[in-house]
Chains A and B, each alone.
Chain A
Amino acid sequence: GAGVSQSPSNKVTEKGKDVELRCDPISGHTALYWYRQSLGQGLEFLIYFQGNSAPDKSGLPSDRFSAERTGGSVSTLTIQRTQQEDSAVYLCASSLWRDTDTQYFGPGTRLTVL
């Protein structure tokens, strides 16, 4: 079946602009994660959704970052007033449940803030 998809694959924006990144998880997966991967760094956890529960936002670096998951499926990560340090690859992953199943990753969105 189809894997996790993300769009756009690349996004170049100017400092101060808002951006929206989209993630389509694998159908039937209840858990969805967002990570950030900066050059030379490990994956940094941002936010986690599990079913209809309140999301775990403990990894969001600032209040400029927010995410939604509509209908328990598609998720959008929004970065407001982008800064150059926001430049990174943003990865989305989904799994059947949170801690007992493999996370399947999307190809990522490469964000460049000029």
Chain B
Amino acid sequence: GESVGLHLPTLSVQEGDNSIINCAYSNSASDYFIWYKQESGKGPQFIIDIRSNMDKRQGQRVTVLLNKTVKHLSLQIAATQPGDSAVYFCAVKNTGNQFYFGTGTSLTVIP
């Protein structure tokens, strides 16, 4: 199986600062990782993904880092904006092809 957890249930940052959201997983065989953003009343929205053969991937204002040694995944948001306020959670796929989801970190951006 798989156990997925986030380090902080809530995170507050000042507008313009960088945000870092962390996720830990348990199964060393996990091979695909996704970060989702979920705004109130909406379904999760794909942000960025990374496969186990990589340790870093960048998108627009977002970077995902994967440390397979300690089974840790992080999402970095640069120059955080009020529109980034949402719940962020990671999803981890193991070799059994099932996705396991973390409980989410609620990000609040302070203007």
Query: Which A residues are within 8 Å of any B CB, using their own CB?
Result: 4, 33, 35, 40-45, 48, 56, 58, 91, 93, 98-99, 102-108
Contact A4 to B103, CB < 8 A, known contacts A45-B98, A99-B32, A102-B49: no
Interface string of B93-111 (1 = CB under 8 A from A): 1000111111110000000
B89 touches A (CB below 8 Å): yes
Between A and B, 14 residue pairs with Cβ closer than 8 Å are A42-B4, A42-B102, A43-B101, A45-B99, A91-B43, A93-B44, A98-B97, A99-B32, A99-B93, A99-B97, A103-B46, A104-B46, A107-B42, A108-B42
Residues of chain B with a CB closer than 8 A to A103's CB: 34, 46, 91, 99
Using Cβ atoms and an 8 Å threshold, which residues of chain B touch A45? 98-100
Is B104 a contact of A42 with CB atoms below 8 Å?
yes
A68 to B: closest C-beta gap in Å: 21
Contact of A41 among B36, B97, B103 (CB under 8 A): B103
User: How far apart are A42's CB and chain B's nearest CB, in angstroms?
Assistant: 4
Q: Mark B50-65, 1 if CB is under 8 A from A, else 0.
A: 0000000000000000
In this assembly, does B67 line the interface, its C-beta being within 8 Å of a C-beta of chain A? no
Q: Is B18 an interface residue (CB 8 A)?
A: no
How far apart sit A20 and B88, CA to CA, in the bound complex (Å)? 29
B contacts with A, residue count (CB < 8 A): 22
Given contact pairs A41-B103, A43-B101, A99-B97, A108 touches B43 in the complex (Cβ within 8 A): yes
A98 to B98, CA, bound (A): 9
Q: Is B83 an interface residue (CB 8 A)?
A: no
Beyond A42-B104, A103-B46, A103-B99: 17 further Cβ-contacts under 8 Å? A4-B43, A35-B101, A40-B103, A42-B102, A43-B44, A43-B89, A45-B98, A45-B100, A48-B98, A91-B43, A91-B44, A93-B44, A98-B97, A102-B49, A105-B36, A106-B43, A107-B41
Collect the chain B residues with CB atoms within 8 Å of residue A107's CB: 41-43
Taking a contact as CB atoms under 8 Å apart, the answer to whether A105 and B44 are in contact is yes
**Is B34 in contact with A102, judged by CB distance below 8 angstroms?**
yes
